[in-house]
Amino acid sequence: MSEVLVVVDHVDGAVKKPTFELLTIARRLGEPSAVFFGSPDKGAEAAEKLGKHGAEKVYVVDDAEIKGYLVAPKAEALQQLVDKTSPAAVLFVSGYEGKEVAARLAIKIGAGLITDAVDVDDSGTTTQSVFAGSYTVKAKVTQGVPLITVKPNSAPVEEVGAAGTVEAFAATVSDSAKKAQIVASQPRKASGRPELTEAAIVVSGGRGTGGDFAPIEGLADALGAAVGASRAAVDSGWMPHSFQVGQTGKVVSPQLYVANGISGAIQHRAGMQTSKTIVAVNKDEEAPIFELVDFGVVGDLHKVLPAATEAIVKH
Ligand code: FAD
């Protein structure tokens, strides 16, 4: 069986959940190997967790020389690793960086690229939700090593093995790949809540909140969820743009999406339609959001959400 390379998404060695989901998918396609850009120390630490989730091998690409740069050096390093390993596929987390590295790699190796898959089966056929969720597309790469970016929450996290074997991989990075340098990087103020695109549960609020997000945040905290917002709420200055879900915001695909005081405009749907279970609270029973929900509550969110939160906290 061929190797399947999984590019690890991590912050300072702490591997993020979507990478473990990729390892579940990689096991369907071949023998998973993780590719970790970072120091050898952090790579060895991460290899333990990556191995437990199915990575038989962990290639550690020491990024001492390349971490100060944007994505181009990573694409070059991956090209060299693909040449060495001839993998059955390379999987990335669908995020800004994953998609850009994948696109650059696709050009370099002349391979087909599929972005934003929400599922990949054992034949390498992907499922995507396109045109604001109005079509489900099945696609398969027909040229070169399949490169696939997969949205968070598209597969379960499974613990299956022991620590992965660490293998140092020395990449040669050309000067031409070092044209854009990171000059500063500042961590976001921690909210204690999961990251929006990775959260298993998202509780969102719209114009119907009237600017009072306390009921949204209360329910989110009771459920261990991330908070999202419609563009109307963001444009009103009630929440920062980083919370916006939709066509011009973030695309989320959680296990549970709770839309409160959100009408369900097509541009909002584009960002949440692939959520596994959708719940809406809206005082207008004709609101379009009710067309796509699994469960709907017709009522005032300022009454419904505190009652739901209280009931959840009690249990
Ligand atoms: P509204 O449409 O005003 O709906 C408010 C809802 O709240 C109503 O259904 C109402 O019945 C309900 N409500 C009111 N009070 C209560 C209450 N007390 N309790 C319960 N329910 C209540 N939108 C996005 O969200 N994300 C995007 O990325 C995005 N991108 C866009 C890109 C373009 C190019 C364009 C043109 C638009 C975009 N939009 C986007 C905007 C989108 O078209 C809608 O205007 C927006 O989603 C509406 O937000 P909303 O549902 O919060 O507000």
pLDDT at 188: 66
Choose one of 234, 244, 268 to mutate for the ligand 1 pocket test, by most ligand atoms within 8 angstroms of C-beta. Answer: 268
pLDDT at 132: 64
pLDDT at 189: 67
Q: What is the pLDDT of residues 17-64, one digit of tens each?
A: 999 999 999 999 999 999 999 999 999 999 999 999 999 999 999 988
pLDDT at 65: 77
What distance in angstroms lies between residue 209's CA and the mean position of ligand 1's atoms?
11
236 lines ligand 1 (CB under 6 A): no
pLDDT at 115: 96
pLDDT at 67: 82
pLDDT at 180: 85
228 lines ligand 1 (CB under 6 A): no
Is the confidence at residue 81, as pLDDT, over 90? yes
pLDDT at 202: 98
Q: Which atom of ligand 1 is nearest to the CA of 233?
A: 52
Contacts for 133 with CB less than 8 Å, ≥ 6 apart: 269, 270, 273, 274
Is the confidence at residue 94, as pLDDT, over 80? yes
230 lines ligand 1 (CB under 6 A): yes
Confidence of residue 133 (pLDDT cuts 50, 70, 90): low
Using CB atoms within 10 A of its CB, is residue 237 exposed (0-12), middle (13-18) or buried (19+)? exposed
Is the confidence at residue 192, as pLDDT, over 90? no
Task: Note the ipTM here.
Answer: 0.99
Is the confidence at residue 231, as pLDDT, over 90? yes
Report pTM: 0.79
Is the confidence at residue 16, as pLDDT, over 90? yes
Q: What is the pLDDT of residues 136-188, one digit of tens each?
A: 999 999 999 999 999 988 899 999 978 779 999 999 989 888 888 888 887 76
Query: Which protein residue has the closest C-alpha to ligand 1 atom 44?
Result: 265
Q: Which residues pair with 203 in a beta bridge?
A: 227, 258
Is the confidence at residue 266, as pLDDT, over 70? yes
- Single out the residue of 151, 61, 33 nearest to residue 99, CA to CA: 151
- Single out the residue of 185, 179, 204, 188 nearest to residue 281, CA to CA: 204
